[in-house]
Amino acid sequence: MSSTGREGDERSSAPVPFRRLYGLARPYLQPLCWGTVLLLAGSGVFLLIPMRAGQFVDSALESGSVQELRQIVTWLIGLFAVLGLLGYFQTWLLGAAGARLLRDLRRRLFDHLVGLSIDFFDRRRVGELLSRMNSDLTVVQTALTEQIPSGLQAMARFVGVLAILLVMQTRLTAVALLVVPPVVVFAMVFGRRLERVAVEERDAVAETSAWAEEALAGVRTVQAFSAEKQARGRYRERLIDLLGIQFRNVRLYGAFSGLITFFGFTAFALVLGYGGNLMIDGAMTAGQLTSFLLYTFAIATSVGQLGSLYAGYRRLRGSSERVFQLLDERSAIVDSASPIRLAQDAASLSLRSIGFRYEGAEEPALTDVSLEVEPGELAALVGPSGSGKSTLFSLLLRFYEPQQGELLLDGRPLRDVALADLRRRMALVPQDIFLFSGSVAENIRLARPDAGDDEVRAAAEAAGAASFIERLDEGFETEVGERGVRLSAGQRQRVAIARAFLRDPQILLLDEATSSLDPDSEATVQRAIEQLLEGRTTVVIAHRLATARRARRIHVLDQGRLVAAGSHEELYAANELYRRYWLLQSLERQQPPAPIQSAAGG
């Protein structure tokens, strides 16, 4: 288990209040109640069966009437038919309610997770979250729609059978109930231990799933470095840890089930012995003893079910606690009480003494950064890796809030602007493009879901992507695969640029948007971007200074600080870092790389 996951678990160790568990089931109370009523009705029908079986035995031993035997058998078959019919309807009602409950819980949890701020995902792994959405929610569904109704049925059956036994034979009933106290004690002891082990098991499942998800997502890196053996080994280690916990769980549950079985049949044996004496003394008939034995078996089964219900309830508390942990997470980025709506024209950006440090980082990512971007201006950010350029983009998109300073949009604090409105007015073209599994058109339409096919095509043409898209097997409907794996890096980049065209934003954030293109495609896209820039405020992270030179103002970042700002000519003359970068890149363009000689040929 990752440390972040453990920290998250430690934040909420208090038992989950029953009202919260009830709140999960409340929308489905009607089918759950009807299903439970049918279960209880089935229990009532069941109570008649041992009685009829006893009558059958007495009739066979005493009267020998074939007609009477046939009537009793007909009665039994009729009761079994009613039980089957009730079983069908209660299974359908509870099963349908359980399926809807699981669907809605997954939807509720997913909707909540998607809305959380990025810092939450910095602390959690996707595989762990997926495990909670699957295994933990399944435990909650099973408990609410199967175990609890079955427990109520067992309780009703226990009470009903106990009443009948007391009427039939009080002393024999007392003998049958001798096993109840130890069953209750063992249920409480094992229930607590089973809850702890169940939580450990689901933590181990989450850890295993998280590692598998990471390894499979990075399978190209794994294979490129011939690291299959290491990946298999690490996954095997996690499986071994998980197996050890599962063995403990199985041993505990096996011991608990074995004890319940032992006490149940012990009660059966005690009743058989004492009841046999009563029958020999003439105080009971063989049929009455048969009925009593069947009722005793039913009461032992009910006690066992109640014990299992308690153990299941403890597992429910463990799983629901983890689910509520996620549902109780609150986004660090929220709208203000009275959010501001943006105007439709181009916007100015202002950063005033911005300071920001990532959670857990030793050094700040940004320190005292101030800059201005006028409406419709193209501003460039340059600097070495780790200088804070991408962090600035994250702050502009409000993925994070700065710890010091203030971000202004048209002179108003960025945190006062409605979050959805802010991001709707922006378009981001990152260097690392993420495409969803789906068609090319669906990935472009992500920028504006209501866009028509003609608008999608126009955006692709503007980005220089239409030509390669039309050459694909199914054109715009071609599936791109997971993360766009069926497209080249340059093709993915152009699809991302098409998204920006379709977005038609006020503010463009470009992370060297043409860095993955060949020279011909770059020239095409560069012309299209120049058209897109007209009348829009644009900030570009320029890894190549030839791109930065087009900007009216260039901002040089180094180690999280703004060390210089100005035009290309001003920076070339005054800033050593910028001048060194420019000279190095100029040499790379002018001189072919020297051949690399192998050691053997040295």
- Rounded alpha-carbon distances, angstroms, from residue 550 to 472, 558, 568: 34, 21, 9
* Distance of alpha carbon 333 from alpha carbon 416, whole angstroms: 11
The pLDDT assigned to 332 comes to 87
Q: Which amino acid is at 102?
A: L
What is the pLDDT, as a whole number, of residue 350?
Answer: 92
Strand pairing of 537-541 and 507-511? parallel
Average pLDDT over every residue of 199-224? 78
Cα separation, 28 vs 146, in Å, equals 13
Distance CA 241, CA 207 (A): 10
Model confidence at 65, in pLDDT bands (50, 70, 90)? Answer: low
**Once rounded to an integer, what is the mean pLDDT over residues 535-548?**
81
More confidently predicted of 58 and 357: 357
pLDDT of residue 11: 42
Q: In what order do the strands lie in the sheet with 349-356?
A: 366-373, 349-356, 404-409, 412-413
Instruction: Give the residue, 531 or 174, on which the prediction is more confident.
Output: 174
Q: Which two tokens stand for residue 342?
A: 């943006």
Q: What is the pLDDT averaged over residues 436-441? A: 89
Tokens of 302: 């009910």
| All domains in the chain, ordered by first residue | 11-327 (1.20.1560.10), 349-588 (3.40.50.300)
Q: Which range has the worst mean pLDDT, 143-147, 419-423, 536-540, 594-598?
A: 594-598
| Residues 273-298 pLDDT 10s | 888 888 887 777 888 788 888 887 78
Q: What is the pLDDT of residue 381?
A: 92
Are 427 and 345 spatial neighbours (Cβ–Cβ below 8 Å)?
A: no
pLDDT at 5: 45
**Residue 381 β-bridge partners:** 541, 555
Query: In angstroms, rounded to a whole number, what is the distance separating the alpha carbons of residues 150 and 301?
Result: 12
Look-up: residue for tokens 């989950």?
A: 16
If we measure between CA atoms, which residue out of 539, 500, 544, 533 comes closest to residue 381? 539
- The mean per-residue pLDDT over the stretch 100-106 comes to 86
Query: How does pLDDT run across 41-59, given as a tens digit for each residue?
Result: 888 888 787 877 777 777 7
Mean model confidence pLDDT for the chain: 81
Residue 597 confidence (pLDDT) above 50: no
In the block, which residue shows the tokens 């009660």?
A: 267
List, for residues 378-395, the tens digit of each pLDDT value.
Answer: 899 998 888 889 999 999
Average pLDDT for 78-87: 86
As a whole number of angstroms, the distance between CA 371 and CA 145 comes to 58
The band of 352, judged by pLDDT with boundaries at 50, 70 and 90, is: very high
In one-letter notation, the amino acid at residue 326 is L
Helix or strand (DSSP H, E) at 371? strand 366-373
Confidence of residue 596 (pLDDT cuts 50, 70, 90): very low
User: Is the pLDDT confidence value at 72 over 50?
Assistant: yes
522: part of which helix (H) or strand (E)? helix 519-533
pLDDT digits over 156-183, tens only? 888 888 888 888 878 878 887 787 788 7
Q: How far is the C-alpha of 442 from the C-alpha of 436, rounded, in Å? A: 9
Task: Retrieve residue 9's tokens.
Answer: 């678990």
pLDDT exceeds cutoff 60 at 516: no
pLDDT of residue 311: 65
- Burial tier of 602 (Cβ tally within 10 Å: 0-12, 13-18, 19+): exposed
Q: Which residue has the higher pLDDT, 562 or 531?
A: 562
Confidence of residue 600 (pLDDT cuts 50, 70, 90): very low
Place of tokens 């009437």: 65
H or E element, residue 194: helix 180-217
Q: Are 512 and 544 in contact (CB under 8 A)?
A: yes
Return the percentage of the chain with pLDDT > 70, whole number: 89
